[in-house]
């Protein structure tokens, strides 16, 4: 579980961080409005602890921005402002709880567990899937009521998967949730695959029967076929529909690949496979022209196309396939053009 603390007072921020890390949460911090905004735009959290009075803005404005991004993080306001009006306003803006300062760390931890339990576990204290039972408060896993010994990361990965049944999991999001925001700087995810392999072996050896999709469902989830091109020696992939767009962006592309989309127009997700190379401006323009061609702006004279790194593209929670938010984008104006260099 990953927590973001937005608090400008260093001593309190460090005290909360230390307390939550002892409870085995992955903890990230922000000391002001702008740094907190960058984090909620770039990353996902299980719970955000939000102070209202920040040096460069209001926590309530940050809460409004969070909801405008269609993100569904649990939010607990922690504030010295204890008036009824502030509490009502914070809750009406979408906060899940309001804890006035000063507070006991034990109470804060109990409230965090409560909001997460309501949103992720339907209010149940234990989590059950097949013959597997998890006690989140005690970090224990049982198969057929026999305890299975897992290390911390194995446990965190299992909890992440079991809280998202039936979903395709993005490796970047999984890594950030279990290891922290800094993990987006790594070159590969071999360490994650090793932990998953060990977890699978332990569950198999213990006879775990976590419910899985039928063969028919798994067949439907196999990788779709994309439009595949080479442009100036670089590999470019393009989704032909919303389902392909979703899979391409969140399961096929790497976090440093470039993502293109016609600005404010329905259209294909286009991914330029970077492979750590410097991308020439001419190639960016050509790829943008391709994104414009496969959009509703195809017949227009000129189209604005946004592009950014895949790691800055986030799915809108509970939205249909292919709907995303993105940040850190640049914009190029191009004439729509197709490239017939299929591979």
Percentage of residues of the chain with pLDDT beyond 90:
47
Structural domain ending residue among the three candidates 162, 190, 213? 213
What is the model's pLDDT at position 211?
A: 62
**Between 26 and 213, whose confidence is greater?**
26
Given this model, what pLDDT does residue 339 score? 62
Mean pLDDT confidence for 142-160: 91
Residues 80, 28 share a domain: yes
Chain position carrying tokens 């899937």: 129
Q: State the pLDDT at residue 214.
A: 45
Alpha helical stretches, state H, 139-214: 152-162, 171-179, 190-205
Same domain, 147 and 205: yes
Task: Of 2-16, 163-177, 308-322, give the range with the top mean pLDDT.
Answer: 2-16
Residue 130 has pLDDT above 80, yes or no: yes
Tell me which of 120, 147, 179 is where a domain ends: 120
Could you tell me the CATH number of the domain that includes residue 75?
3.40.50.2300
Q: Which two tokens stand for residue 142?
A: 């049982």
Give a yes or no: residue 321 inside a domain: yes
- Per the prediction, the chain carries an average pLDDT of 86
Burial label for 165, CB within 10 Å (0-12, 13-18, 19+), is exposed
The enclosing domain of 139 has a CATH number of 1.10.10.10
Higher-confidence residue of 291 and 217: namely 291
Is the same domain home to 52 and 145? no
Q: Is-contact 332 307, C-beta < 8 A?
A: yes
Count of domains in the chain?
3
What is the mean predicted confidence (pLDDT) over 156-169? 80
CB atoms within 10 A of CB 185: 8
Mean per-residue pLDDT for 83-102?
87
- Residue 342, pLDDT score: 37
Give me the pLDDT at residue 189, please. Answer: 73
Closest by CA position to 77, among listed 174, 172, 173, 5: 5
Reduced to 3 DSSP states, what percent helix, strand and coil does the chain have, rounded to the nearest 5?
Answer: 40, 25, 40
User: What three-state secondary structure class fits 299?
Assistant: coil
* pLDDT at res. 122: 65
Q: How many CB atoms lie within 10 A of CB 71?
A: 20
pLDDT of residue 307: 97
79 touches 86 (CB < 8 A):
yes
Instruction: Report the alpha-carbon distance of residue 322 to residue 338 in Å, rounded.
Output: 22
3-class state of residue 140 by DSSP:
strand
| Same domain (yes/no): 256, 233 | yes
Residues 8 and 115 in one domain: yes
DSSP character for 13?
H
User: What pLDDT was estimated at residue 217?
Assistant: 46
Residue 277 lies in a domain: yes
> What is the C-alpha to C-alpha distance for residues 203 and 221, in angstroms, rounded to an integer?
23
Structural domain harbouring 207: 127-213
**Mean pLDDT, residues 182-202 taken together:** 81
Residues 199, 241 share a domain: no
Q: State which H helix or E strand residue 34 sits in.
A: helix 33-42
26 inside domain: yes
Q: Is the pLDDT of residue 235 over 80?
A: yes
275: number of Cβ within 10 Å = 10
Query: Which among 39-48, 72-81, 170-179, 278-287 has the top mean pLDDT?
Result: 278-287
User: 31 lies in a domain?
Assistant: yes
- The answer to whether 306 and 329 are in contact (CB under 8 A) is yes
Asked if 7 and 52 sit in the same domain, the reply is yes
Asked if 241 and 150 sit in the same domain, the reply is no
Q: Report residue 160's pLDDT band, with 50, 70 and 90 as the boundaries.
A: confident
Q: What is the pLDDT of residue 37?
A: 92
Same domain, yes or no: 86 and 11:
yes
Distance of alpha carbon 203 from alpha carbon 185, whole angstroms: 30
The rounded Cα 328 to chain-centroid distance in angstroms is 16
> Is pLDDT of 48 > 90?
yes
Q: Is the pLDDT confidence value at 108 over 60?
A: yes
The token duo for 300 is: 């227009």
Res. 226: pLDDT tops 60: yes
DSSP string spanning 305-317? Answer: EEEEEGGGEEEPT
pLDDT digits (tens, 9 = 90+) for 298-342: 988 899 999 999 999 998 877 888 899 999 999 999 999 876 543
Among residues 97, 120, 143, the one where a domain terminates is: 120
Alpha helices in 257-333 (DSSP H): 281-293
pLDDT of residue 251: 86
């Amino acid at each position: 579980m990953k927590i973001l603390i937005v608090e400008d007072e260093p001593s309190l921020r460090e005290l909360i961080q230390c307390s939550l890390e002892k409870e085995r949460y992955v903890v990230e911090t922000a000391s002001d409005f702008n740094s907190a905004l960058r984090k909620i735009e770039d990353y996902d959290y299980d719970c955000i602890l939000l102070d209202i009075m920040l040096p460069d803005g209001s926590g309530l404005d940050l809460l409004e921005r969070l909801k405008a991004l269609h993100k569904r993080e649990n939010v607990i306001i922690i504030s010295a402002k204890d008036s009824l009006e502030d509490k009502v306003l914070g809750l009406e803006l979408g906060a899940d709880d309001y804890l006035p300062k000063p507070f006991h760390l034990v109470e804060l931890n109990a409230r965090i567990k409560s909001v997460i339990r309501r949103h992720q576990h339907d209010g149940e204290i234990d989590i059950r899937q097949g013959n597997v039972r998890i006690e989140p408060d005690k970090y224990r896993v049982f198969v057929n009521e026999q305890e299975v010994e897992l290390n911390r990361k194995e446990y965190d990965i299992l909890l992440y998967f079991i809280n998202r049944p039936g979903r395709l999991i993005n490796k970047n999001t999984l890594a950030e949730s279990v290891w922290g925001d800094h993990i987006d700087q790594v070159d590969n995810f071999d360490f994650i695959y090793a932990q998953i392999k060990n977890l699978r072996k332990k569950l198999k050896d213990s006879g775990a029967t976590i419910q899985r999709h039928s063969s028919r469902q798994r067949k439907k989830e196999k990788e779709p076929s994309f439009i595949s091109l080479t442009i100036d020696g670089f590999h470019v992939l393009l989704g032909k529909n919303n389902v392909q767009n979703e899979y391409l962006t969140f399961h096929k592309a790497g976090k440093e690949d470039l993502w293109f989309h016609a600005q404010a127009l329905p259209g294909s997700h286009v991914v330029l496979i970077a492979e750590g190379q410097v991308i020439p401006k001419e190639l960016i323009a050509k790829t943008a022209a391709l994104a414009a061609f496969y959009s509703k702006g195809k017949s227009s004279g000129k189209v604005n196309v946004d592009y950014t790194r895949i790691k800055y593209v986030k799915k809108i929670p509970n939205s249909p396939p292919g709907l995303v938010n993105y940040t850190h984008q640049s914009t190029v104006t191009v004439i729509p053009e197709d490239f017939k260099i299929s591979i």
